[in-house]
Chains A and B, each alone.
Chain A
């Protein structure tokens, strides 16, 4: 009998514990208060002079140096730099703090794909009232377009990631292959590399939402259209999407794509020994290659991304982001003053020196930047190619106002097509279905047509 009741008590406690597990930080969301939402430059300068304390959440490795330089220039301001996680971990914590109504930082890093979601929910301060409009000409049109949403300006760009084709010259030369200019040539090269050694691949891909979006964008696709609360998601009749899936379905069906997750140890090892012979990825990659695949030194080169017709350059952004002032901030003029430094010429210079790929035109066009010869890339002037890539970015791409969620279910849908060697179009249809259902649940009018 004693055992009996002990068991019941244990079961009861465990039940309570299991219920606790489902409890997240849940509290009423904060109302956006518009206090301190405008300031003149003189007021911003006065706030910087007066000083105070700011919290800044970021995972950018260059942030430490930028903050140090800022504090030197404005000794009365104390910036608390906090790295609460990378990517989704960061957004989760930010979202929780915003929902809780307190505890959010004054300034936070936001990637371009997540800007619409945070801006729309009122989490970010519209910076129009601080004169942010006047900074427009400092940035590339693509990155500015990512922070200017629905007539407001919700952040300032930091870096950018125009895509480029990174390839192993030794592998391509060894097989007598030219650098592919079209996707058909790329497919031929993929076959040649895999035929020469079954453990060698031209590229890796196990399904990645950001890569899929960039590839569709690069093919001229517009699967997402948003107009206020109306959201349309249509992969099936989107021309760009179909161009990409035609090539990529062939690549997958013939087993030409290495099933290796990006950023894994195996990935870097293969990039170093050439058994993955190319990458189509953002311009922020060179620093990662140098650090992660030192064995590949001297062998890598950069070229423009292949196109479908072999004509004029067509490109897209892959990653990159900026920084935003959170609505919760108690001292918005001061936070904006910090943003001006962080994302302005001073911050951008330190960011670029630390291996980042800038979004500021002045840095992209500087002789020093363009003339940089990378030893890792065999002395190639890589920034020449990468900057041209940033000019070729096709205009008009939009992310969903709930892109972070949509990306989170990519593995459940398109990922299944990768896992079972299925048709990408079917995976994309399921992805659209899940995203549309979520959009409607969240009060949007979402549809597939």
Chain B
């Protein structure tokens, strides 16, 4: 029995080992991240490189599906529609949300808590329920529009008709998301330090000056984030038109929005490969536009 040599002191941890310890801590997250985010994206990229036919089976076609999507008039029709929707609906919604947030934050509103909750309430209503509800309101025969027409002897335009359907959807989406955006703006407004207002008051600034020179610059980051969410939401438009389709089958085509197009390609036509290509293109387009919005927002921030 030789006496035990004193236990060697642990060698200094090498940098790469330390890195592996770090990985172990994030492993649970990484596992879920790889499984539910990275793997599906990789799989849909993989899918998009093939073509499966009812007759002839599956064949590798490389980037052909992408080439086809880029010259597909149905795809561009749907893309143009959500882009138009984005340019019109998002500014209206964000301005209304901003106005509501400023009003609630101003401290001059009675029952501010009531307004805050009731504005936010539509966001808690599931999109499916909200759309069905609005679908009934929009009915020209038995809906609210129909009742108004009868009562006031009006001929209001039918919201579910060919030419008004996009406006009707904009109305629904605005109603659903004003409260959500208002809350983002409002929480940003609440963290503005009170001494700024005091200083402004001492300098003789009016309420309007306070809004334009203190409040709006302070919540610019929140506005950028809300805009990015809205850009993504517009490009992903799906629930509202898809649920309204049975009520307005001729006004909402199967390629009304890019997501509806991809959905119908997969589920009505079993064109999973092409649908995957359309989805990837839309993902990239969304990323690019969201990034542009962010760059524009932050550049102004730095310029100040």
Contact = CB atoms under 8 A, between A and B. Distances in A.
A3 interface: yes
A22 B53 contact: no
Given A22-B276, A261-B249, A408-B264, A14 B269 contact: no
B228 A419 contact: no
B262 A15 contact: no
A207 B250 contact: yes
Contacts of B221: 3-4, 7
Q: Give the one of B161, B228, B255, B272 with max A CB within 10 A.
A: B272
B83 interface: no
B111 interface: no
Contact of A22 (B229, B259, B270): B259
B280 interface: yes
Given A4-B298, A95-B267, A444 B54 contact: yes
B147 interface: no
Interface stretch (A182-190, A239-247, A397-405): A397-405
B149 interface: no
Interface string B208-246: 000000000000010011001100100110100000011
Interface string A243-278: 000000000000000001100111001000000000
A16 interface: yes
Given A8-B294, A22-B275, A95-B270, A265 B142 contact: yes
Contacts of A441: 53, 271
Contacts of B103: none
Nearest to A15: B287
Interface residues of A, number: 54
Interface stretch (B17-25, B36-44, B88-96): B36-44
Contacts of B262: 21-22
B283 interface: yes
B49 to A, nearest CB: 13
Interface string A407-436: 011011001101110000000000000000
Contacts, number: 156
Nearest to B247: A261
Contact of A21 (B236, B290, B297): B236
Interface in A255-312: 260-261, 264-266, 269
Given A3-B224, A10-B225, A120-B54, A22 B269 contact: no
B190 interface: no
Chain A contact surface mostly: helix
A5 B45 CA distance: 27
Q: Would you list the 8 A-B pairs with minimal beta carbon distance, nearest first?
A: A22-B279, A443-B55, A3-B221, A408-B268, A415-B250, A419-B250, A443-B53, A443-B56
A21 to B, nearest CB: 6
Contacts of A28: 58
Contact of A442 (B53, B267, B275): B53
Nearest to B270: A95
Contacts of B270: 95, 99, 405
Interface string A1-41: 00110111011101110111111101011000000000000
Contacts of A264: 247
Contacts of B229: 10, 14
A265 B37 CA distance: 42
B254 A21 contact: no
B236 A20 contact: no
A296 to B, nearest CB: 18
B251 interface: yes
Contact of B41 (A14, A16, A92, A412): A16
Given A18-B282, A22-B282, A23-B276, 17 more contacts: A4-B294, A7-B221, A12-B287, A15-B286, A18-B235, A19-B40, A22-B259, A24-B267, A92-B267, A99-B270, A260-B141, A402-B54, A405-B269, A408-B254, A411-B252, A416-B250, A442-B53
A19 B282 CA distance: 8
B52 interface: yes
B225 to A, nearest CB: 5
Nearest to A16: B37
Interface of B: 36-37, 40-41, 43-44, 47, 52-56, 58, 139, 141-142, 161-162, 221, 224-225, 228-229, 232, 235-236, 238, 245-247, 249-255, 259, 262-264, 266-272, 275-276, 278-280, 282-283, 286-287, 290-291, 294, 297-298, 301
Contacts of B162: 419-420
B249 A18 contact: no
Nearest to A29: B52
Contacts of A11: 228, 232, 287, 290-291, 294
A105 to B, nearest CB: 18
A229 interface: yes
28 contacts: A3-B221, A3-B225, A7-B228, A11-B287, A14-B286, A18-B235, A19-B283, A21-B238, A21-B279, A22-B259, A22-B262, A22-B275, A22-B276, A23-B44, A23-B279, A26-B44, A26-B47, A88-B267, A206-B249, A261-B246, A266-B139, A409-B268, A411-B249, A416-B250, A419-B162, A419-B251, A420-B162, A443-B55
A26 B286 CA distance: 23
A438 interface: yes
B55 to A, nearest CB: 3
A404 B161 CA distance: 26
Interface string A113-151: 000000011000000000000000000000000000000
Contacts of A266: 139, 141-142
B21 to A, nearest CB: 24
A67 to B, nearest CB: 28
Given A14-B232, A26-B272, A19 B255 contact: no
A442 B271 CA distance: 9
A24 B283 contact: no
Nearest to B188: A3
B272 A24 contact: yes
Nearest to A411: B249
A412 B224 contact: no
Nearest to B286: A18
B269 A408 contact: yes
A6 B225 contact: yes
Contacts of A404: 268
B269 A10 contact: no
Given A11-B291, A26-B43, A411-B249, A438 B269 contact: yes
B41 A19 contact: yes
Q: Give the one of B55, B229, B270 with max A CB within 10 A.
A: B270
